Structure 1
Amino acid sequence: MFACVRGRRSSREKILDAAAELVSEIGSGRLTLDAVAERAGLSKGGLLYNFPSKEALLQAMIQRLVDEVSLEKEALRRQLPPKRNLEARLCTSALLKMCGGGKMKEIATGMLAASSENPRLLEPVRSVVRETLEKLRSTSDDVDASIVAWLAVEGLRSMEMHDISPFSDQDRERIVGAINRLLDNGIAEQAPKDNKP
């Protein structure tokens, strides 16, 4: 669950927390504004003041997930020493840390289900994907290695989010190790093979 570290939580944070709890329990399809208001301990009018529609609430929940990954990335930036392909390392590390399961996974799965009915909800995610790709292209020491590492993590995350991953914890560690080696060593340029005998 998301928590505010300073002072009292605002009504907006209470609503988002309550909605996240409900999505993880019953899914986004059965989420109602009345249920969210009740869980947050607010009147429906108080909820509607912050989020005038269910769509606005779902958009805010998705934006909050995006912001959480961004905050994690910036926290890692302060911890990691400068290395090759730093932006790719930050991106992959933050995504791997945030997708480990629990409430975050349940909420993300619920939001994915909601977005299948309303693709506009994913606009903040589309924007982040475009920005991430552009940042990897403009800052990486090895652009191909950075993009392949990012795609590998997104694929692993997707499999885990949908509970279809065939990988054990040991397999996952090996995959993450391979991704880190790729970022360390890059993708070697392959000289075109001459077809002459």
Structure 2
Amino acid sequence: MPKNAAAPSASTRDRLLDAFEELLVEGGERSATLDAVAAAAAVSKGGLLYHFASKDALIDGLLARLDTLAVEDAENIRTATAGPVDYLIRTSVHTGSPLDRAYIAGSRLAQGRDPRAMQVLTDIRRRWLSVIEDAVHDPHTAQAIMLISDGLFVNSSLAGHEQAPQLHDDEAMTRLIAVIGRLLPR
């Protein structure tokens, strides 16, 4: 087999995952049927089934993608030059990044009570919390920082709405990080 023969399949697989993710984000689990995913990815249903034999397999693929992105993010938090708390807070704002989109898609599955999605999201949160606990050496402060991070993510999803608070510029983030610094044990 030629060296790059797998490239189109990988690309098709990613397009299918992207389409599934988009449908979940925009319309929830009910809108993300196999037919809708195939159509959104411009692939035949047979092509979708070649890569993902069932909707369960598609869900597993999406959750594996989410987990991979979250593992990378946890390492980025841990090794951030400005420190884990600074990095976490500054990256908690929804920007439409691959991690943001995969996380929202996983959340939509969890809202539908998919136990696999609920477990992956729980594992991600524990991983992030562990990194912050290691950085601040206090589980209660780490939990408060995680809740601030959650609030930033939710608040930023309202961005563009006229009544949404605009707290996402660099200056506002710097002030927030300074306030969080006052929470840290000495």
| Shorter-chain TM band | 0.5 to 0.7
So what's the TM-score if we normalise by structure 2? 0.68
Percent of pairs with identical residues: 22
Seen in structure 2, the aligned counterparts of structure 1 residues 125 and 38 have a Cα distance that, compared at 3 Å, is same
Seen in structure 2, the aligned counterparts of structure 1 residues 24 and 104 have a Cα distance that, compared at 3 Å, is farther
The alpha-carbon deviation at position 134 of structure 1 amounts to 2.3
The alpha-carbon deviation at position 10 of structure 1 amounts to 2.8
Partner amino acid, structure 1, of 2:38:
A
Q: Distance in 2 between matches of 1:66 and 1:178?
A: 31
Is 1:114 matched with 2:112?
no
SS where residue 95 of structure 1 aligns? coil
Q: Distance in 2 between matches of 1:77 and 1:134?
A: 10
Partner amino acid, structure 2, of 1:38:
A
Q: Distance in 1 between matches of 2:136 and 2:50?
A: 44
**1:176 matched to which residue of 2?**
173
The alpha-carbon deviation at position 19 of structure 1 amounts to 1.8
Partner amino acid, structure 2, of 1:100:
T
Contact 2:19–2:37 (8 Å) recurs in 1: yes
SS where residue 180 of structure 1 aligns? helix
Seen in structure 2, the aligned counterparts of structure 1 residues 144 and 104 have a Cα distance that, compared at 3 Å, is closer
The alpha-carbon deviation at position 130 of structure 1 amounts to 1.4
Gaps of 5+ in 2: 1-6
Seen in structure 2, the aligned counterparts of structure 1 residues 103 and 126 have a Cα distance that, compared at 3 Å, is closer
The alpha-carbon deviation at position 75 of structure 1 amounts to 5.6
Is 1:150 matched with 2:146?
yes
Contact 1:145–1:186 (8 Å) recurs in 2: yes
Count of aligned pairs: 176
Aligned residues: CA RMSD: 3.7
Contact 1:159–1:165 (8 Å) recurs in 2: no
**1:17 matched to which residue of 2?**
18
Q: Which stretch of the first structure deviates more once superposed, 148-157 or 158-167?
A: 158-167
Seen in structure 2, the aligned counterparts of structure 1 residues 49 and 184 have a Cα distance that, compared at 3 Å, is same
Contact 2:156–2:168 (8 Å) recurs in 1: no
Seen in structure 2, the aligned counterparts of structure 1 residues 101 and 142 have a Cα distance that, compared at 3 Å, is same
Contact 2:77–2:87 (8 Å) recurs in 1: yes
Q: Distance in 2 between matches of 1:58 and 1:165?
A: 35
Larger radius of gyration: 1
**1:60 matched to which residue of 2?**
61
Q: Distance in 1 between matches of 2:101 and 2:144?
A: 26
Contact 2:77–2:84 (8 Å) recurs in 1: no
Gaps of 5+ in 1: 1-6, 190-197
